[in-house]
Amino acid sequence: MNLGTKLEKVDAPIDIIEGVVRERAKLLEGFNGNPNVSEKKFKEAIDPTLFTFSLSGEPTIYPRLGEMIKELRKRKKITFLVTNGLNPEVIEKLDKEKNLPTQITVSTNAPNEKLFKIWHRSREKNAWGKFNETVDLLRKLRGKTRRVIRLTLVKPGKGGKFNKITNMVDENVFEYAELIRKAEPDFVHVKGFKSLGFARERMGYDKQPMDYEVKRYAESLLGELGKEWKILGEDKRSCVVLIGKSKRGMRIRGV
């Protein structure tokens, strides 16, 4: 994938898949023969079972996304799609063509339109409206794919352009709860912002919440969502807490 809102020339899905696997094997080949490395684990590592479309830009702008998911499913691979939610028509197309991934994660750092415009600065004029279309669509995909909402929390800082802006105040708890009720996802990831990559140019390390702050916020969110919701897991190193109504569906057994 790449940065931007449109891709003019793209590689074929098979070329991308096989290229990724080939380059991954090159990165790992130095571990082969190491007495401290399990031969079984090494063989599993060079033949990945999970492919995630994420990180470098918005994956839904890749025009052959459905073909890629279909090809990976033929190879019995698990597929995760992480999206900012600004292209609901792409997800609708994946659904219509029966090419939905194993999991769709809609990621946001803004529980309301004001914060959304400040942080996203999208070229899409109706970005907030598009995002909400995706949230509505997520609810309709129940049973067709595993659905996740990911909240990235940012606390107030001491300096920089966005030093005072935060999405962790009490008012935001109610807004996030409304968003979650609207989407009716299977799970919610409550995670802390990390000052990495391009983000370092806009927000410093002081805006990163600690693991205990993320968990405390997740607990406040549970109080708003109701007794059905509970903490299902957490990873302190990654500053992320998983919440949901049930552990059912957490383990992916096949594609």
Distances (CA, A) of 105 to 11, 27, 87, 145, 213: 24, 27, 13, 10, 23
Closest CA to 81 of 42, 137, 122: 137
Q: How far is CA 38 from CA 86, 133, 153, in A?
A: 43, 46, 38
Residue 30 vs residues 24, 33, 48, 101: alpha-carbon distances, Å: 11, 8, 17, 32
Beta bridge partners, 242, equal 189, 233
What are the residue ranges spanned by the domains of the chain? 8-47, 49-244
Q: What single letter denotes the amino acid at residue 156?
A: P
C-alpha 68: how far from its chain's center? 18
Which residue, chain included where needed, has tokens 């109701």?
226
State the pLDDT at residue 249: 82
pLDDT tens, per residue, the chain with 255 residues: 445 567 778 999 999 999 999 999 999 999 998 999 999 999 989 999 999 998 667 999 999 999 999 999 999 999 999 999 999 999 999 999 999 999 999 999 899 999 999 888 888 889 999 999 999 999 999 999 999 999 999 998 876 677 788 999 999 999 999 999 999 999 999 999 987 776 666 777 888 999 999 999 999 999 999 999 999 999 999 999 999 999 888 888 655
Which pTM does this prediction carry? 0.91
CATH class of 49-244: alpha beta
CA terminus-to-terminus distance, the chain: 23
